[in-house]
Amino acid sequence: MIKILRLLLYPFSILYGLLIHLRNWLFDNKLLYVFQPKIKTISVGNLSTGGTGKTPHIEYLIRLLEEKYRVATLSRGYGRKTSDFRIATLSDNAITIGDEPTQYYQKFINIIVAVDAKRRRGIKKLMVKFPSLELILLDDAFQHRSVKAGLQILLTDYANMYYDDRMLPSGNLREFKSGVQRADIIVVSKTPPIFSPIERRQILAKINPLPHQQVFFSFIKYHSFTHFFDKKVYLAPSFKDVIGKDTEVLVFAGIANPALLEDFVRSMSKCYKLISFDDHHEFNNVDLEKIKSEFDGLRSAKKIILTTEKDAMRLLHLNLSLEWSNLPVFFVSIAVQMHQLDEENFNQLILNYVRTN
């Protein structure tokens, strides 16, 4: 059925791809204006529609750079109810700035977090408002062709490599595979922690990077469990105090691809049940009632509710009832780790760009 549906949608994919290709051609040939910021900019994006791990890779860059440089993040602020340019403050949440910017603001006190659907305008406003700013990290800006970032990082999911994908709507690609040529760095994300050198070489051969491109490999590690209400943090491996082989877990998630989360929970717990929502889902009271009802129906003596850090950001603005505050609700945080062969070279490449340009 899926194959038949993809076949039916294929003509629309060709049409959509040609329109995007025309748009890219206009930018490539300088028939549409491209803004080249004077400030250092690093773009993190992908060719596909979400699920490649942009947020944890942005956080990796923040951790690498925040102690040495004045850093800002600039995102679209997907799903927010506000518009135009906005600097994150203590009063902001996922409704006003989006879930990912909220996550950056909650975790990193030394950076500036900004949102603007128009990246060119956002960059200019940041430069005026913060003259000492040294670097802007552009979140999900690979297709934002009106701005030319100084360094372009393209992510591709190990489980759904761009070279095996198709254009929307029959696949997940936002543009033709040739768009990879604009990247300076290609990161194969969400690989297994133990990664075969043979498979590495096979992927490199399929990517066939251009002379100016470098390819790296990263994986996801589960960093901590945090109690949603009392904010107590359990770092790995102590999160085994929260979840174990005798634990039944109700997982709810509104992310593009919960497969890795499911694998993790399955490996840690007795059993689990997943309630899946659309990516960037805005939770409401009906959702909360459904989640609580499903949790009440679990029969194990030891049971918890678990969600992702990004989903937790979309719960902060809700006035959860006293009944909820007594529940064992946790969110799990993830972090990106570069493979041993890649970490030093990747870090040095980023630091050299920021330092020398």
Taking only the tens place, the pLDDT of each residue in 255-301 is 988 989 999 999 999 999 999 999 989 999 899 999 999 999 999 99
The reported pLDDT for the residue numbered 2 is 59
CB distance 53 to 190 below 8 Å: yes
Q: In the chain, which stretches have pLDDT less than 50?
A: none
Give domain limits for the chain.
2-219+337-356, 221-336
Fold classification of 2-219+337-356 is: Rossmann fold (3.40.50)
Residue with tokens 């951790």: 63
CB distance 155 to 56 below 8 Å: no
The reported pLDDT for the residue numbered 238 is 82
Radius of gyration of the chain (CA): 21
The reported pLDDT for the residue numbered 3 is 65
The reported pLDDT for the residue numbered 100 is 95
Q: Side-chain half-sphere of 182: how many Cα atoms within 13 Å?
A: 26
H or E segment to which residue 317 belongs: none
